[in-house]
Amino acid sequence: MKEEKIVIKGTPPAWDQAEYERRVEEWVRAYRGTEKSMELVSGSLGHEFLQAVIDKANQGYTITHTKRINQGELYHSTFMVKPPSMQEEDIASIRAEQKEKYVAHLEAERARYQDLLRQQLIQAKSEKEAKAAELAEAKKLAEVEKEVQACYAPLEIPE
């Protein structure tokens, strides 16, 4: 069975600032669209809940319009959006995490391409050695045949 020939196409991806920014923006959009950019504020009594909301508002939090305010017996809650400074800290963490993931991806792709090249070079050397061995064997057989023919005179058949 003949082994499939390994052929490398293209090159491993390199750092692309636009790709990095696209990845970050995708995660920032997810961050802003989820509860990760918010904090749950709750209290068991109405006035405790209102005071907790006031305290958070004084810290720069705002009430989100995408979540309901829950008011039940002995439980009141709502999500409040983190202040911009806290969001920027979270986004800085997202940037760092995405950079780490992107670098890991690039390194993995580079290692994959190196492994493919290693396999391709080994395969090429093996094929070259096999071809050289075939040629050497053919040359040896030709020399043996030449010696055999030289040992005996041509067959003479009378007419």
Q: How far is CA 138 from CA 125, 144, 145, in A?
A: 20, 10, 10
Is 3's pLDDT higher than 80?
A: no
Which residues have a Cβ under 8 Å from the Cβ of 131 and sit 6 or more positions away? none
Q: What is the mean pLDDT of the chain?
A: 93
Which residue range forms the structural domain that includes residue 76? Answer: 23-150
Average pLDDT over residues 54-64: 96
Domain membership flag for residue 16: no
DSSP-derived 3-state class of residue 156: coil
| Structural domain count, the chain | 1
Select from 86, 85, 88, 107 the least CA-distant residue to 96. Answer: 88
pLDDT at 2 over 70: no
Could you give the percent of the chain with pLDDT greater than 90?
A: 82
C-beta separation of 112 from 29 below 8 A: no
Task: Tell me if 27 is assigned to some domain.
Answer: yes
Does residue 140 lie within any of the structural domains? yes
Answer positive or negative: Cα dihedral of 22, 15, 13, 95: negative
**What DSSP string runs through 53-93?**
HHHHHHTT-EE-SSSPPEEETTEEEEEEEPPHHHHHHHHHH
Q: What is the mean pLDDT of residues 59-86?
A: 94
Q: Is residue 11 part of a domain?
A: no
The answer to whether residue 133 sits within a structural domain is yes
pLDDT in tens, 98-154: 999 999 999 999 999 999 999 999 999 999 999 999 999 999 999 999 888 888 878
What is the average per-residue pLDDT within 44-57? 96
Indicate whether 59 belongs to any domain: yes
